[in-house]
Structure 1
Amino acid sequence: MQGKPRIAVIGAGLGGTAAAALLQREGFNVRLYEQAPAFSRLGAGIHVGPNVMKIMRRIGIEDGLNAMGCHPDYWYSRDWKTGEVIAQIPLGDYAVSHYGATYLTVHRGDFHALLTDAVAPGTLLFDKKLTQVEDLGDVVRLSFADGTVEEADIVIGADGVNSKIRETLLGAEPPKYTGYIAHRAVFPISRVKGFTHDRCTKWWSDDRHMMVYFDTGKLDEIYYVTGVPEPTWDMSKSWLPSSIDEMRAAFDGWHQGVQSLIEGTVEVTKWPLLERDPLPLWSRGRLVLLGDACHPMKPHMAQGAAMAIEDAAMLTRCFVEAGLDDFGTTFALYEANRAERASKVQRVSHENTWLRSNENPDWCFGYDVFEVPLVEPAAAAVPASPATAATAATATAAA
């Protein structure tokens, strides 16, 4: 490559924006393309564990994120009917002393705005819906719906579950609907009557759940997200409006703590939970994938965005350590150091057992993408699909 290679990141979600911020801090030439015309503070919360906070430290927004987020002392799991605590995972000061960084919950829009501000001015271009990708061997040509055409030396596909970059690499294939939907709602805690909520609680029954947490440091706003079986979904819809009546029906007979949230709801939406089987490749030529573009997962570990951000950090690390001239080797190194972990999180998320009992979460929260020893690429079998892996695990346990 002549001069400083041009890196195009497609998709300015949390993973893509983190990639742009990290790459810029290492001196790389980056442009970030987003199909949305602008960002808004959409109604969704997010968990940010110590594994992610260490990356935010590298970007320079750890303090700002700590200031805006809620810091739960524990992750509580509670029985759907009695409210009994069935698991209590220490966070708070324990996370700082044990993992070396905080664990917090925050509004996704607030987090995204802070992360976007960490990218150099002029890097992010809105209203750039990608329509065609052509790897010409010596350069990649990117065509957008607005009629513009850009060129890049390397293209990172951080464009989500319906990734155009993934489609270019592997052909068109819709994601799999898992048979579950997620209701999402965020509203002032002042609307919740008759129950005092913990800072972070997951309410469980055998076939559904509700994850509840505060998403501001002021503890003035609360968020919930559910997992509820729904046999079919119109895949032409990315989400649909829901209602308080639908929530009452879905959680009929549940504890008063859950009922208090339903009655306090202002607006609630519902979203399909989608997955893909692990891909046979994460890169080819000058194209490489990260996050939901290559390993979309159910949100049941609260680690989907974390895996995208970890991908961004590992890819940056591989660019620094292996270089850009032999990007095929760099991409192979990246996949070798991310596929196993991402597939494990994908499988555990699929099973929806995470922290339902007093298990040790060190393998997840204690991970440091900058310090973990790199493994060399080697021929390896493609990981089983989340559903197949879960079935195999159940059969092994029963044997």
Structure 2
Amino acid sequence: MGAQQKIAIVGAGLGGAAAATLLQQAGFDVTVYEQSPEFSRLGAGIHVGPNVMKVFRRMGLEQPLEQMGSHPDFWHSRDGLSGDYLSRIPLGEFARREYGAAYVTVHRGDMHDLQINSIAPGTLQFGKKLETIVDEGDQVRLTFTDGSQATADIVIGADGIHSKIREELLGAEAPIYSGWVAHRALIRGENLVRHADVFEPCVKWWTDDRHMMVYHTTAKRDEYYFVTGVPHEAWDFQGNYVDSSQEEMLAAFEGYHPTVQKLIRSTEDITKWPLRNRNPLPLWSRGRLVLLGDACHPMKPHMAQGAGMAIEDAAMLTRCLQETGLTDYRTAFELYEANRKERASRVQAVSNANTFLRTQEDPAWVYGYDVYAQPLKSGVAA
């Protein structure tokens, strides 16, 4: 693996950051180009299932992630109106024993910071918004809006649902508005104290057409986060999100259990995000360009596995490039798609259907999966 051969990763989100660390640990020369000028601790939580923790183990980040996160003993699903329990999915020690790693809920910004700090110093460049990308046959040329250029032997598009790399492969096409929005709020512990007896560590409240997922984001359990899925008429304004309010949420969850009402009244700031997705893509790579994560298979967040699939992608793509070497990137990309498409598409479909763990089911197909234990299926040339 010659040092002259370079990998460029476009996007330093959770998937791109994982790919950078894993590829660098495997000995590849990697530079990451991120359009944001910097990252901040934005108010969002994330579930990290045992399937994902096994990848963090490889990165050497499992222990610090465990220490910063909350460890729920169960995923509880409850009827939004009556509060009756629909399922109690065991996590905690059960997950360690049965699935091979912990189940953690954590602040997305804290986890991302851990990942960013694991990328080799000097190899992550901020403020690099991709303007054009040209596969010149023997290399790829990237031009950024600041006027700078870079070249690489392969380029990994980890640049999200609005991926410029996906656009280069398949043409410009806006993602599909799903008809749903997600309200998000991060609630400080002092606002929860008076209701502490009813706020469970990990619970999803459901009715037929909407839900609210709630969980702690720190080991101290001094932050409580919720994300909803609520039907909403066509999204007709710009940007990733807009401000919402207690009034709007109380209307959306009218008639819901008193605990949900208390939770909404405990909030200070609520935002509202359109949920967008895409149909499964006809190809994941072409030439020297390859996609992962939301650039490749965006999904509604209802299964708490979107970032997990991006991180699994990063691990499998690294495996495949190690298998073939960078000079035979075509075979590596075929292997990668052959070993990821079925699983990612299944998770995408189940997530979009919003049925996962509503009833007492066995989630071993998700959590028990180990990307490193899978025998590599041979790729089929496109």
TM-score category, normalised to shorter length: over 0.9
Distance in 1 separating the partners of 2:2 and 2:45: 43
Deviation at 1:323, TM superposition (A): 1.6
* TM-score, with structure 2 as normaliser: 0.98
How many residues align? The count is 380
Higher alpha-carbon deviation: 233-242 or 357-366: 233-242
SS in 2 for 1:225: strand
Residues 156-193 of structure 1, C-alpha deviations (whole Å, 9 max, x = no match): 00000000000001100000000000000002132134
2:240 equivalent to 1:233 = no
2:266 equivalent to 1:264 = yes
Alignment partner, residue 211 of structure 2? 209
Distance in 2 separating the partners of 1:10 and 1:330: 19
Alignment partner, residue 344 of structure 2? 342
Residues 204-260 of structure 1, C-alpha deviations (whole Å, 9 max, x = no match): 001000000000000110000000000210263211111111111111111011011
Alignment partner, residue 108 of structure 1? 108
Structural RMSD (CA): 1.2
Alignment partner, residue 252 of structure 2? 250
SS in 2 for 1:337: helix
For residue 221 of structure 2, the aligned residue among 219, 222, 233 is 219
Distance in 2 separating the partners of 1:9 and 1:324: 14
Alignment partner, residue 317 of structure 2? 315
Alignment of 1:120-269 (within 5 A): 120-192=120-192, 193-194=194-195, 196-234=198-236, 236-269=238-271
8 Å CA contact 1:4–1:28 kept in 2: the answer is no
Deviation at 1:336, TM superposition (A): 0.3
Amino acid corresponding to residue 293 of structure 2 in structure 1: G
Deviation at 1:132, TM superposition (A): 0.3
> 4+ residue stretches of structure 1 with deviation over 4 A?
none
Higher alpha-carbon deviation: 323-332 or 33-42: 323-332
Distance in 2 separating the partners of 1:290 and 1:89: 29
Deviation at 1:342, TM superposition (A): 0.4
Deviation at 1:378, TM superposition (A): 3.0
Residues 25-46 of structure 1, C-alpha deviations (whole Å, 9 max, x = no match): 0000000111000000000000
Alignment partner, residue 83 of structure 2? 83
Change (3 A) 1:234 1:190: same
Distance in 1 separating the partners of 2:86 and 2:48: 23
Deviation at 1:344, TM superposition (A): 0.2
Alignment of 1:42-53 (within 5 A): 42-53=42-53
Alignment partner, residue 389 of structure 1? none
Distance in 1 separating the partners of 2:352 and 2:118: 33
Amino acid corresponding to residue 311 of structure 1 in structure 2: D
Deviation at 1:4, TM superposition (A): 3.3
Alignment partner, residue 383 of structure 1? none
Distance in 2 separating the partners of 1:128 and 1:248: 41
SS in 1 for 2:351: helix
8 Å CA contact 2:18–2:115 kept in 1: the answer is yes
* TM-score, with structure 1 as normaliser: 0.94
Alignment partner, residue 273 of structure 1? 275
Distance in 1 separating the partners of 2:254 and 2:118: 44
Distance in 2 separating the partners of 1:5 and 1:317: 17
SS in 1 for 2:55: helix
Amino acid corresponding to residue 18 of structure 1 in structure 2: A
Distance in 2 separating the partners of 1:222 and 1:306: 21
SS in 2 for 1:300: helix
Distance in 2 separating the partners of 1:19 and 1:343: 20
Distance in 1 separating the partners of 2:96 and 2:288: 39
Residues 288-335 of structure 1, C-alpha deviations (whole Å, 9 max, x = no match): 000000100000110000000000000000001122111111100000
Amino acid corresponding to residue 227 of structure 1 in structure 2: G
Distance in 2 separating the partners of 1:378 and 1:331: 10
Deviation at 1:269, TM superposition (A): 0.4
Distance in 1 separating the partners of 2:301 and 2:364: 19
- Please, which runs of 5 or more residues in structure 2 have no aligned partner? none
SS in 1 for 2:274: strand
Distance in 2 separating the partners of 1:120 and 1:378: 34
Alignment partner, residue 370 of structure 2? 368
Change (3 A) 1:247 1:137: same
8 Å CA contact 1:204–1:210 kept in 2: the answer is yes
SS in 2 for 1:326: helix
Deviation at 1:374, TM superposition (A): 1.1
Deviation at 1:99, TM superposition (A): 1.0
Deviation at 1:379, TM superposition (A): 6.7
Alignment partner, residue 37 of structure 1? 37
Distance in 1 separating the partners of 2:14 and 2:352: 21
Distance in 1 separating the partners of 2:6 and 2:127: 20
SS in 2 for 1:198: coil
SS in 1 for 2:146: coil
Distance in 1 separating the partners of 2:62 and 2:137: 39
8 Å CA contact 2:186–2:224 kept in 1: the answer is yes
Distance in 1 separating the partners of 2:264 and 2:240: 23
Distance in 2 separating the partners of 1:315 and 1:143: 24
Amino acid corresponding to residue 344 of structure 1 in structure 2: R
SS in 1 for 2:301: coil
Distance in 2 separating the partners of 1:145 and 1:16: 20
SS in 2 for 1:12: coil
Alignment partner, residue 94 of structure 1? 94
Distance in 2 separating the partners of 1:231 and 1:256: 27
